[in-house]
Amino acid sequence: MNTKQITVGQFTVEVVRKDIKNLRLGVYPPAGNLKMSVPLSMKEDTVRLFIMAKTAWIIKQQANPKVTLRHNTHLDLYVPHNSQLEKREQVLIAWYRQALKAKIPELIHKWQPIIGVTVRDWGVKRMKTKWGTCNINAARIWLNLELIKKPEHCLEYVVVHEMVHLLERHHNARFTAYMDQFLPHWRSHKHELNQIVLNHTDWNY
């Protein structure tokens, strides 16, 4: 199996070659990304012709599942009228994930020279009782998807918190001293973050 991006007219398509017999084209929310599974032996020209033939269908599908932010206060969810609740949730979660991932690189880039560490990898996932985690050996941090719903300074606090763990593994006096040095108001951010969690008595970051 191998993957390649191709451009056909106005579309960028991720083409994955597999041991299959038929073409499969999908449009994925929230941005309407195109992914296509094609047989291993199929020529690229054939793939391109297929995509061109599906232009009207692709445009229609891309117009259906999406989320837009209105006035920075409301989210508008666009899905087919007969879509199930699970499908609507998937579209919204995909948008949340994409939006959070757009914010993280800038924060890591900002804080790496300040803290003096290098984050080799990072990711976003849903977590029940933690805002973030740090794999010290891999220099990898994970951030909770729910942070997209919180104020941006709370997200920054969690990013700094996890990056400081690359200097000190434990929540001890040394860790606290680093937090005081790098983010003097971190306690108020922590308090705010934990206060706005509803229906979770076990959250304490």
Q: Backbone phi, then psi, for 126, in 5-degree steps?
A: -85, 125
| Of the candidate ranges 4-13, 109-118, 133-142, 157-166, the one whose mean pLDDT is the lowest | 4-13
- pLDDT of 105 strictly over 90: yes
- pLDDT of 197 strictly over 70: no
Determine the pLDDT at residue 13.
Answer: 93
Q: Which residues of 153-172 are buried (b: 16+ CB within 10 A; e: fewer)?
A: ebbbbbbbbbbbbbebeeee
Give the separation between CA 114 and CA 18, rounded to whole angstroms.
45
Determine the pLDDT at residue 200.
Answer: 47
Do the beta carbons of residue 22 and residue 34 sit within 8 Å? no
Higher-confidence position of 75 and 189:
189
Determine the pLDDT at residue 67.
Answer: 63
Do the beta carbons of residue 134 and residue 115 sit within 8 Å? no
Question: Of the candidates 191, 130, 181, which has an alpha carbon nearest to the alpha carbon of residue 160?
Answer: 181
Higher-confidence position of 96 and 76:
96
Determine the pLDDT at residue 128.
Answer: 87
Mean pLDDT of 82-110: 82
Q: What is the pLDDT of residues 17-66, one digit of tens each?
A: 999 988 999 888 666 789 999 999 999 999 999 999 999 998 887 776 76
Q: What is the pLDDT of residues 64-93, one digit of tens each?
A: 676 666 666 666 666 556 666 676 677 778
Question: Of the candidates 72, 70, 66, which has an alpha carbon nearest to the alpha carbon of residue 91?
Answer: 66
The Cβ of residue 111 has, within 10 Å, a number of other Cβ atoms equal to: 19
Give the separation between CA 30 and CA 64, rounded to whole angstroms.
10
Q: What is the pLDDT of residues 139-168, one digit of tens each?
A: 999 999 999 989 999 999 999 999 999 999
The Cβ of residue 119 has, within 10 Å, a number of other Cβ atoms equal to: 22
Mean pLDDT of 189-199: 75
Question: The tokens of 131 are what?
Answer: 């805002």
Question: The tokens of 61 are what?
Answer: 């599908």
- pLDDT of 188 strictly over 90: yes
Question: Of the candidates 67, 84, 85, which has an alpha carbon nearest to the alpha carbon of residue 76?
Answer: 67
- pLDDT of 193 strictly over 70: yes
Give the separation between CA 187 and CA 174, rounded to whole angstroms.
15
Q: What mean pLDDT value characterizes the chain?
A: 86
